[in-house]
Amino acid sequence: MMSIAQGIPDNTTRIREEFQDRKFGIFIHWGIYSMLANGEWVMHNRSLGRDEYAKLAGGFFPSRFDAREWTKLFKEAGAQYVTFTSRHHDGFSMWATKASPYNIMEATPFKRDIVGELAQACQEQSLKLHFYYSHMDWQRTDYPTGWCKNCPHDPATTDWDSYYRFMNNQLTELLTSYGPIGAIWFDGMWDHKEKEFDWRLEEQYALIKRLQPDCLIGNNHHGSPIGVEDFQLFEQDLPGQNTAGFSGEQKVAQIPLETCMTMNNTWGYDITDKAYKSGDELIRRLVTAAGLNANFLLNVGPRPDGKLPEEAVERLLHIGRFLKANGESIYGTRGGCVPPQAWGVTTQKGKTLYIHILNKVEDGQIFLPLTGKKLKKVSTFAEGTRLEFRQEKDGVRIFLPSQPETVDFVLTATMK
């Protein structure tokens, strides 16, 4: 149903809020590139010929892949959704697509529908499944090459209409064969930065909403949201930051936000990349994202045998322990009415303000610039110990007990 006034479907508020409530998701970058163990861009970065690269598929047999083992772990980590690379820039499809033989069933000896198994396992664990889907394709000769020139396509074979039809056929499969899908997560549109290139998003987005009205749409185009996009994406940065250089000119929009991040430096499995952020550092990013009103989508790059790197497993369990104890202050919250401070961030649920002290406080007190609002009560989240506070002209000063050795010292404040 559409509310004719704006062309925005009626269920929009509900599905966007449900998404925001989930707060924490796992991103999975997995494909035949994992075999080369040098990230998901290896085909492009090493200018590998498409025919030679495609032969990798003949050896893809992830003998230790167990979707249930993955989703059990994700659940234990406290994640509420999973975003899976159904087809990355290399053009290889990880499901039983009929739109091209270049897929897990036809081109590999594995012949198991990985997307299907994951969808089933997600359902069993009540995890929402989102699909990453690349707009760019280095393999198909009908795709019109743009800015990524290392795997060039012969202009004579370029056929945008054919490629567009192919994408929509694939999206139709993904949205009609695997149960309810939480979101389609597009990527790669930046391959054509020219204004005159028409991706025909409106029609594509309408197709998605027609097939699954509750499916959200997000697009990692590094710009401000377009049309009916339901959430805004930030790559390797929290909303409002641009340390990685992907946020461009985009302003933080008034729609749900999601920050995606790697645990080390690469999305797809990289055998030499051991630059893992610590478990505590990842918790810090997750909590800070929540304080900035954003979901946190944390990546894992499974190995070619189908197992997750040990470092990733360890960190997920660490986050899981934190969320088990502190989840109430994260799930279902929104960024708090106190903006980020030197000491940390706040999240909020109704009249309850969760104060996340992420940094060392020197003088045993924190100040919350809270104007127009008064606090009724402040206590520690873990023990429920009442804390002293003083209402001042520009806000509230809270007096802390000795700060525990924990990544996030959470307080609960009730507002009048």
Residues 6+ apart with CB under 8 A from 129: 81, 82, 84, 118, 119, 122, 123, 178, 179, 181, 182
For residue 235, how many other CB atoms are within 10 A of its CB?
A: 19
Tell whether residue 205 is a contact of ligand GLC (CB under 6 A).
no
Tell whether residue 40 is a contact of ligand GLC (CB under 6 A).
yes
**Spatial separation of the C-alpha atoms in residues 202 and 190, rounded to whole Å:** 17
For ligand GLC, which is the closer residue by CB, 95 or 132? 132
Tell whether residue 267 is a contact of ligand GLC (CB under 6 A).
yes
Tell whether residue 113 is a contact of ligand GLC (CB under 6 A).
no
Tell whether residue 330 is a contact of ligand GLC (CB under 6 A).
no
> Mask 132-171, x = binds ligand GLC (CB under 6 A)?
----------------------------------------
For tokens 């960190």, name the residue: 315
The least distance separating ligand GLC from the CB of residue 40, rounded to whole angstroms, comes to 5
The least distance separating ligand GLC from the CB of residue 232, rounded to whole angstroms, comes to 13
> Mask 173-202, x = binds ligand GLC (CB under 6 A)?
--------------x---------------
The least distance separating ligand GLC from the CB of residue 262, rounded to whole angstroms, comes to 8
- Name the pairing type of β-strands 389-392 and 334-335: unpaired
Tell whether residue 260 is a contact of ligand GLC (CB under 6 A).
yes
Can you give the three-state secondary structure of 381-414, one letter per residue? CCCCCECCEEEECCEEEEECCCCCCCCCEEEEEE
**Spatial separation of the C-alpha atoms in residues 395 and 369, rounded to whole Å:** 4
Angle of helix 114-124 relative to helix 67-76, nearest 10 degrees, comes to 40
The least distance separating ligand GLC from the CB of residue 179, rounded to whole angstroms, comes to 24
Residues 6+ apart with CB under 8 A from 156: none
Indicate which single residue of 113, 230, 235, 408 sits in contact with ligand GLC (rule: CB under 6 A): 235
Tell whether residue 220 is a contact of ligand GLC (CB under 6 A).
yes
The least distance separating ligand GLC from the CB of residue 90, rounded to whole angstroms, comes to 10
For ligand GLC, which is the closer residue by CB, 167 or 260? 260
C-beta of residue 188 within 8 angstroms of C-beta of residue 135: yes
> Which residues sit at the interface with ligand GLC, rule CB under 6 A?
29, 40-41, 187, 220, 235, 260, 267
